[in-house]
A and B are shown apart, each in its own frame.
Chain A
Amino acid sequence: DTAVSQTPKYLVTQMGNDKSIKCEQNLGHDTMYWYKQDSKKFLKIMFSYNNKELIINETVPNRFSPKSPDKAHLNLHINSLELGDSAVYFCASSRFRGNRLRNTIYFGEGSWLTVV
């Protein structure tokens, strides 16, 4: 039983298209995240939601829009895809928000997006 699952795992699409990546967690966590890993393997947070409320919104083009219909789901929609959007996108979740207790973050398997 996968704790954090995201789909699709691989996505190849043309520039200018709009695409979505879906994420679901069955851990009962309150907080979910989207991280981006670029071609050099650098990981950077994009967004975080806590109980459907946006709490982190890093400097990301507004072509990227997260949507959290409930606390178990956090989807990422990307409009007008560009070549530079090619990366691996990781969904993650944690029980709490913030720097408290042992707030371990659990990651999904990643979605490999290639824009051609």
Chain B
Amino acid sequence: GEDVEQSLFLSVREGDSSVINCTYTDSSSTYLYWYKQEPGAGLQLLTYIFSNMDMKQDQRLTVLLNKKDKHLSLRIADTQTGDSAIYFCAATGGSQGNLIFGKGTKLSVKP
């Protein structure tokens, strides 16, 4: 089955760029997603990328997909303290194509 891995912690200074990395195992995953979870809150869909794309940009967010290496990254430009949250990578997989989540990367932004 699908396995999604991401590092657990990332710390950056305000104004710097953040890059959160993720790897997945199922090459048939058609969509890959990034969700954001702020403290005490639910999961908010940030962005997604279709597997035939290499890059997708949405304001301060850039998603890069290397399908050959099964590597996905989320870059946040000009990171702000409000970006502090846990970021989950998710890939379609599983027996019914449900989402398989990584363990989440906790992003801490220092002023």
Q: Chain A interface (Cβ within 8 Å of chain B)?
A: 33, 40-45, 48, 55-56, 90, 97-100, 102-110
Contact = CB atoms under 8 A, between A and B. Distances in A.
B48 A99 contact: no
A45 B48 contact: no
A97 to B, nearest CB: 6
B30 A100 contact: yes
8 contacts: A33-B98, A48-B98, A56-B95, A90-B42, A90-B43, A105-B33, A109-B41, A110-B41
Interface of B: 28-31, 33, 35, 37, 41-45, 48, 50, 86, 88, 90, 92-101, 103-104, 106
A112 B97 CA distance: 27
Contacts of A102: 31, 48, 50
